[in-house]
Amino acid sequence: MKLENNVAHFTSPLYLESGRILEPYKIAYETYGELNEDASNVVLVCHALSGSHHAAGHYEGDKKAGWWDELIGDGKAIDTNKHFVISTNVIGSCFGSTGPMHNNYPSHNLFRLKFPVLTIKDMIKAQKQLLSQLGIHHVKAIIGGSMGGMQALQFAVDYPNFSDKIISLASTYATQPWAIAFNKVAVEAIRRDPRFENGQYDKDAFKENGLDGLAIGRIAGHISYLSPDSMNKKFGRNYVNNDGLFELFGRYEVERYMEYNTDNFSKNFDPLSYLYIVKAINTFNLSRGYDSLYDAIIRIKAETILISFKGDYLFFPREMEHIHTMMQRNKQTSSYYEIDSNYGHDAFLVEIDKFDSIIKETLEN
């Protein structure tokens, strides 16, 4: 598989939904495969909260593959022998695109909390600018899970003629209070951590030891991404062998798992980026800017594939099914699949074998 890693720079202003302007800005992105002569084989992949543009393949010396490597590649469901796949890093992130820890042009001071609040609409507008710069004005499909699924749906509503197919997994039409409440744990844990310093911390301040507030908040996130059944299956009531049962801070295996994963995450993800992206997720609402959800959904012209997971306790299957029901009433082209899974929200990253055939068939139909 041919993999290329790039950064695109933009000097024209990006007008944001808040009324503010981002200028200049940059977007990190990767491409996989080859663009055909008439540019009709483009598939845009959108990432979730903690993801990046590194969706597939390996970097030199890197043991861990991209986050959807099982799905994207030569001969895989998103076949890079046939499709030219573009994966972008959203603005506001900390993996190469312009975010709160970049310079607030024309000064050399970092944006920090002066960075504008972003929305999913802003993220896809920036991606569309990237594609235009690459000479791509229409795509075959847009695919994403969780926040990536939000982006795919927003593309379908805001730019109805831009993509032939929309595939949204484990997402929703508007973030509900249950999900916002989980996000609130992370927001408050970060804000109340003294080392956060109200966003005035040094760049790369947490590379070695991480930020405790982000680690704690990420534990809440992990709980929402899994399910009771998946936790029972993965950990049971197993206790860490070297920890005494009657030691106050002795741990069950599930506790050690949370510590290990969240500590590493807090070293690699910038806390300000986390806050800004969580805000974009919380404010996601397909109906904003339109008179109603019906008026937003009726704009969709693309063939729309909606995939939910039975054990998802963050974005419940009924939320995706609601979109499908509306589209069916409007006689729009949509398909809905509820995957039988006990894994939880993260099933879209883990249980690829349960839905890859749906994506393959959709792209090759």
Can you say how many angstroms the Cα of residue 363 is from the centroid of all Cα atoms in its chain? 21
Residue 90, token pair as written in the block = 């959203």
Sign of the four-CA dihedral 105, 108, 113, 114: negative
Q: How far apart are CA 14 and CA 26, in angstroms?
A: 11
Tell me the pairing of strands 25-32 and 21-22. Answer: unpaired
Instruction: Answer left, alpha or beta for residue 197, where phi above 0 means left and psi between -120 and 50 means alpha.
Output: left
Verify whether residue 263 is a known catalytic residue: no
Verify whether residue 312 is a known catalytic residue: yes
Residue 353, token pair as written in the block = 């074998």
Q: Is 177 exposed, middle or buried (0-12, 13-18, 19+ CB in 10 A)?
A: exposed
Q: What is the DSSP letter of 342?
A: S
Verify whether residue 102 is a known catalytic residue: no
Among the options 87, 171, 345, 346, which is catalytic?
345
Tokens 């070297």 locate to: 242
Closest residue by Cα to residue 73 from 62, 61, 63, 81: 81
Residue 106: cis peptide before it, omega within 30 degrees of 0: yes
Sign of the four-CA dihedral 13, 16, 21, 23: negative
Among the options 52, 97, 146, 168, which is catalytic?
146
Please, what is the end-to-end C-alpha distance for the chain in angstroms?
A: 22
Among the options 312, 322, 324, 341, which is catalytic?
312
Which amino acid type is present at position 58?
A: H
Closest residue by Cα to residue 355 from 65, 156, 71: 71
Give the chain's radius of gyration (CA, Å): 20
Can you say how many angstroms the Cα of residue 136 is from the centroid of all Cα atoms in its chain? 22
Active site residues: 146, 312, 345
